[in-house]
Chain A
Amino acid sequence: MNFKQFISANKKPSILIPQAITVIALISVIIYFATNAQINMGNRGISFGFGFLNQEASFDIAFSLIEFDGSYSYGRAFLVGLLNTVLVSVIGIFFATIIGVIVGVSRLSDNYLIAKAAEWYVEIFRNIPLILQIFFWYFAALRALPSPENAINFYDISYLTIKGWYIPKFIWTNFNIFCYSIIAACISIYFFLKYAKKQREEFGRILPTVTISILILILFPLISFFLLGVSLSFSYPELKQLSATSYTYANGVSIIPELMALALALSMYTATFIAENVRAGVLGVGKGQKEAAASIGLNKGQILKLVVMPQALRIIIPPTTNQYLNLTKNSSLAAAIAYPDMVLVFAKTALMQTGRAIEIISITMLTYLSLSIAISLFMNWYNKKMAIKEK
């Protein structure tokens, strides 16, 4: 439809007038805000623009995945915050999924005690505000850990202290070759699964797909270790005295308590919602499906793999993706306990220093927004792909 057709189709006043009023109202509100903003910024002597992203940030960030100190720019600080957000989200999603699936399956257990325990886990952690859970872990539970010299020792490899959790550092040689081997393994698994599907559909031959996939995933990196010169060694944390009473651990990687508290709270909170999704998904597969599968002679494992799981996943995945998105958005609560995520580094510290409220808040919101839109586009695509194709 081109513009002319559009206009002629909407010529009736009862259609045109309300739209025109809404659009004009919206535009005038925007213009009003924009002029005010311009005047206000003029009064403070700042002009709208994103040039400040290249200026020197001159603040330090406590925890960063890439190199950062005061001499780097605000743009780099934003990147550090973004990476920290991604890090805590990935950790949270990983553990939330594991806990959620276990609890969700437990809720359906025929063991009364297990089912009840899982139910209470969900009821307790779902009904306490996430921010309180974060505060609890950070200010109460993790503060009760011992100081470095009396650390909780895990086989002399890793140490849990009030200052953080010290784990060994991985020292790779030829790490990139290792990564290539993983990628190669994934690609070959993809083709193998395609081949297996063809075999199954055309010749009715069932290959042990899971076993072979795992074998490929182990074999390729092993080859890279023995033949392609990849090697891995560890540098273990060691107790080091800083002053008469102060100790720390050197040579290892330190997981700061902020990250631990945030990851714990996020994964335990989100797990309750995932558990409910899993439960709903498994319950959503009709009893008749299982009985029909059993009556054509599939065994228990086959019923689960070929009949129950594909249908349950169709119910589970869309709301669970939503929960992953919620977890990522909730990771912004990091600002409450000073974990340097995007909101804290950028929307708080950088904003305080530069005073550029409009630019910084817009960038932060746009980042989250584009993430949400990307995920909802993926969801639409997935739903279309997975929708039951009725013949």
Chain B
Amino acid sequence: MNLSNYRPSKDKISTYLPLGSFLIIISFLDILINTFFNLNITSFLSQKISYFFPLAIGFIGFYLIRIEFSGVKFLDKLNKNINSNNFNALLTLLILFIIIKSILPILNWFFFEANFVGNSKEDCTGNGACWVFVKVWFNRFMYGLYPDVEQWRVNAAFILLFGLVGIAFFVPQKIKKYFLIFLIFVYPFIGIKLLSGGSFGLTYVETAAWGGLSLTFIISAFAILFCFPIGVILALGRRSSLPAIRYISVGFIELWRGVPLITVLFMAAVMFPMFLPDGTFIDKLIRVLIAITLFEAAYMAEVVRGGLQALPKGQYEAAKSLGMGYWRMNALIILPQALKLVIPGIANTLLALVKDTPLIFVVGLMELAGMIGLAKTNPKWLGMAMEGYVFAGLVFWVICYAMSRYSQNLEKKLSTER
């Protein structure tokens, strides 16, 4: 008997295709009924065989429909993408089964058995998530301990910021410049005044009360604003021909890059006050901001240095032959080109900065993750860690995913331009 006669091939498609599809359908039916109706249709088999039954049947089914050049468009596509050989068929089955098996408990926990109404832990009676927890604490998660009646100020500061950035995108090139200058040099002071108050009839809100997601944004915004120019200067310093400046820059960059952020924050919190004259007190938030800014500036410097190194020597020589000095050459010729080269790298550094902000909990400031830590230890809301961290994870994921997508698009756009 020659087995190869029975191999699935095009001339036997009318027998193999229905048979294979039938077996695959049976295997998926078995799994689906098992998960959704809790009914084992193969219970007449012994337990172990019944467990692997859908896998085996599905595998045979996939083998039977693996017909090369069948002429059926859909089948060819299917075979090429998920059923190109035995190993792939097995992996396909496994991954589909895992998805089917896990999707129901996850959906149940998220939606079907979750609790959305109520305002205390006792209202959560189902087996699923207790989203009441997030609902009740939502205000705190967003604004920290900022007083309720003053929260419009946080909103106003952010609306102003996003409004300005949005307008700056659409106005003509000539006015754009002034918008940017306003954003970088004037807006930060307006923002700080609006948030902390103390004059113009605004009540004073101490920085210890700032928190929640808004603090994440505040820290990210300020750190981004300051770490960028410092990073550029450090990068230029590292490429400088003056040895003293070069060595200081290298030392500074490598010092920050060599230690974890958490020790830098510890340093800002406990060691830095020792270096100040007795009696001076710098606000904790400012100390932390300085620490994060310097830390990220070192990473930024390395990214910018990559751009500087990538520029051909001719650019420097051309600028010099036009009689430009060091600063004019860098500002007008070198940096605009170098920075454009490393925009994706800059975006990645900023992404890392946003992901690093939750670390400020070590010095007692509470942004989103910190507020959740506070809420879950509240005696009325014990046992809500899962809901809290899943919520925070989702929020951060949306922010970071959007950022990384944007930087990837930018990367693609720039790489085609060149």
Contacts and interface: CB of A to CB of B under 8 A. Distances in A.
Given A131-B369, A132-B392, A347-B266, A40 B278 contact: yes
Contacts of B349: none
B274 A129 contact: no
Quick one: which of B263, B355, B386 has the most chain A CB within 10 A? B263
Interface string B223-264: 000000000000000000011110010000011011110110
B186 interface: no
Interface of B: prevailing SS: helix
B376 interface: yes
Contact of A347 (B95, B263, B274, B357): B263
B362 A336 contact: yes
A26 B404 CA distance: 38
Q: What 10 A-B pairs have minimum CB-CB distances, sorted nearest first?
A: A372-B258, A127-B400, A19-B244, A140-B386, A139-B385, A329-B260, A33-B275, A369-B258, A112-B81, A332-B260
Contact of B263 (A40, A336, A361): A361
A43 B278 CA distance: 9
B257 A372 contact: yes
Contact of A361 (B267, B278, B390, B392): B267
B330 to A, nearest CB: 14
A332 B263 contact: yes
Nearest to B387: A140
Contact of A132 (B82, B84, B243, B369): B369
Given A332-B262, A343-B262, A372-B257, A111 B82 contact: yes
Interface string A14-48: 01001110110010000001001101110100000
A22 B260 CA distance: 27
Interface in A331-385: 332-333, 335-336, 343, 347-348, 351, 357-358, 361, 364-365, 368-369, 371-373
A330 B356 CA distance: 11
Contacts of B81: 110-112
Given A40-B274, A335-B362, A129 B266 contact: no
B102 to A, nearest CB: 12
Interface in B175-192: none
Given A39-B278, A135-B389, A357-B274, A124 B259 contact: no
A123 interface: yes
Q: Which interface residue of B96, B356, B389 has the most chain A CB atoms within 10 A?
A: B389
A143 interface: yes
How many of chain B's residues touch chain A, expressed as a range? 35 or more
Contact of B376 (A19, A126, A139, A357): A139
A133 B262 CA distance: 16
A130 interface: yes
Interface residues of A, number: 59
Given A114-B95, A372-B257, A128 B362 contact: no
Given A343-B263, A347-B266, A129 B95 contact: no
B78 to A, nearest CB: 10
Given A135-B369, A139-B389, A364 B263 contact: yes
B233 to A, nearest CB: 11
Interface of A: 10, 15, 18-20, 22-23, 26, 33, 36-37, 39-41, 43, 109-114, 117, 123-124, 126-133, 135-136, 139-141, 143-144, 329-330, 332-333, 335-336, 343, 347-348, 351, 357-358, 361, 364-365, 368-369, 371-373
B262 A335 contact: yes
A33 B277 CA distance: 8
B397 interface: yes
Contact of A110 (B84, B260, B276, B401): B84
Given A37-B274, A114-B91, A351-B270, 6 more contacts: A22-B245, A109-B91, A111-B92, A127-B397, A129-B396, A336-B361
B91 A111 contact: yes
Contacts of B128: none
Contacts of A332: 260, 262-263
B403 to A, nearest CB: 8
A136 B389 CA distance: 6
Interface string B374-410: 0010000000011001101100110011001000000
Nearest to B394: A128
B358 interface: yes
B373 interface: yes
B359 interface: yes
B42 interface: no
Contacts of B84: 110-111
Contacts of B41: none
A15 B244 CA distance: 10
Given A111-B88, A140-B385, A357 B396 contact: no
Contacts of B390: 136, 140
